[in-house]
Each structure stands twice: as structure tokens, then as C-alpha cells.
Amino acid sequence: MEVATGHDKGESHPAEVPDDTGSRLLVAAAEVFAEKGYDGAGVAEIARRAGLTTGAIYSRFSGKAELLIEAVRQCTPDEFDSLFTQHQFDGQAQQLLETVGSHLVTRETSPMQAILLEAFVAARRDLELRQLLQNQFEDRRRQLAALIDQGKAGGLVDEDLDTGAIVHFAHAVGLGFLLYEALGVPHPDPELWQRLIVKVVSSIDPAEVPSGASS
């Protein structure tokens, strides 16, 4: 959470590994967006900081919105993507949710998280940026939804619970932590948080649902 080579309106074009010029641009963009915000960041400043020209940006990105989204994709740590890549939780939505949920209070705070927060704020005013950000999150939603549906098929997740609602809840918790971190709100004790996460996640197990509870 890839450098674009084509530029259809409102659509991102990620590639797996950025070239050296693309990497330099994304690092510079991350720094400028984090320091000055989306509105205050200029394409010329990003190019200057990368030691390149603005032409290098427009040959790879459709504009500032796509550059911000790709900076988020490349520079924001994402343990959720990492877990999917490792294939450790195939068909085991509960274990994935427990692991990611517990990690929220123990992960290292990164200045790059400010970029993602800036993207959300700017998306309220920039329709192109909003669409690009929605596309990126929709990919995440589909991944997690597929895992939850596998759990339902295997009898590990209560079929009476709506998949979309579970996904929405999981992302709401994660994004809520992003806001807390921006305000410097202290995290709860990791052990106490872990106990809560285990309790919440276990509630999606049909074996844990009392008989007649959904009627």
C-alpha cells in the first residue's frame, strides 16, 4: 500500500515496483504532503526536493491527487497487507482480525501515518482524490470480505452476521486509531486491549452465539 504509467480520469494505475525516479518522487511527495498538507504541497516543490523536474511527475502520475494516493500506498506501513501476503490466515478471518486488532496498540507510530490522515481530510474537498482513495479502500474491503465469507462457508463465522457490517466495523476501529494517534491520545494497556479484541472477535463465532440470539 506502485507507479502509474497511464492516466484515465479518476483511476489509479499501480505497478508492483516503482523505478528509481518514481521512488524518489514518492519519498519527496510523502515528506512534502506530511509537512505542508495536500493543499499546501506544490508539484514544483515535490520535484525540486526529489532533484527532478515536474515533467518527471507528469510522465508517471496524472497529477497531485494520484501522487498522494501512491505515496500513501508506498510509504504508509500496512501490516494488514503483509498478513495477506504471508497467507498465514487463509480462511481464518477470526485469527486475522485478532492479530491486526491487537497490533493497533503495539505498532510503532510513524510520521508517514500523517499522510493517510491528510489524504482523508483533503478528500472531503477534492473529488478526484476521494475517488482514488475510495478505490484503494474498496480493494481492502473485498479482501477482508472474501476472507469472512470463507469463514462463513467453513462454519467459523456466524452466517447471520452481515459480511459488509463486519468489514465496516473492522476498518472503523483501525481508522479510529489513526485519529487517536494524530491527537496523541495514549493507547490502552496492550494486555487489556488484547483481552477485549479476543472477546469481540469471538462473538462472530457461531459456537459463541447463544441459541435464539438472532431471532
For residue range 142-152, what is the model confidence (pLDDT) as tens digits? 888 988 898 88
> Average per-residue pLDDT in the chain?
79
Contact (CB, 8 A) for 132 and 65: yes
Please report, as a single letter, which amino acid is at residue 157.
V
Domain ranges in the chain with CATH number 1.10.357: 79-205
Contact (CB, 8 A) for 157 and 151: yes
Q: Would you call 162 helix, strand, or coil by DSSP?
A: coil
- What is the share, in percent, of the chain residues with pLDDT greater than 90? 24
Q: Which of 12, 183, 32 is nearest to 109 (CA)?
A: 183
pLDDT at 196 over 90: yes
Q: Which helix (H) or strand (E) holds 200?
A: helix 190-202
Give the angle subtended at the CA of 145 by the CAs of 139 and 147, to the nearest 5°.
Answer: 110
CA–CA gap between residue 157 and residue 29 (Å, rounded): 41
Q: How confident is the model at residue 92 (pLDDT cuts 50, 70, 90)?
A: low
Residue range 16-36, pLDDT digits in tens: 445 788 889 998 998 898 888
pLDDT at 7 over 70: no
Q: How confident is the model at residue 40 (pLDDT cuts 50, 70, 90)?
A: very high
Backbone angles phi, psi at 82, to 5 degrees: -60, -40
Contact (CB, 8 A) for 57 and 67: yes
Contact (CB, 8 A) for 144 and 167: yes
Instruction: Identify the CATH assignment for 20-75 out of 1.20.120.80, 3.40.50.300, 3.40.50.1000, 1.10.10.60.
Output: 1.10.10.60
Q: Which of 25, 71, 18 is nearest to 48 (CA)?
A: 25
pLDDT at 6: 35
Backbone angles phi, psi at 119, to 5 degrees: -65, -40
For residue 58, count CB atoms less than 10 angstroms from its CB and return exposed for 0-12, middle for 13-18, buried for 19 or more: middle
Three-state SS string over 57-106 comes to HHCCCCCHHHHHHHHHHHHCCCHHHHHHHHCCCCCCHHHHHHHHHHHCCC
pLDDT at 154: 84
Residue 35 or 189, more confident: 189
- Least confident range of 15-24, 93-102, 164-173: 15-24
Residue 95 or 41, more confident: 41
Residue range 111-130, pLDDT digits in tens: 667 788 888 889 998 999 99
pLDDT at 89: 52
pTM given for the model: 0.70
Domain ranges in the chain with CATH number 1.10.10.60: 20-75
Q: Which fold has domain 79-205?
A: Tetracycline Repressor; domain 2 (1.10.357)
For residue 6, count CB atoms less than 10 angstroms from its CB and return exposed for 0-12, middle for 13-18, buried for 19 or more: exposed
Q: Which of 107, 113, 104 is nearest to 201 (CA)?
A: 104
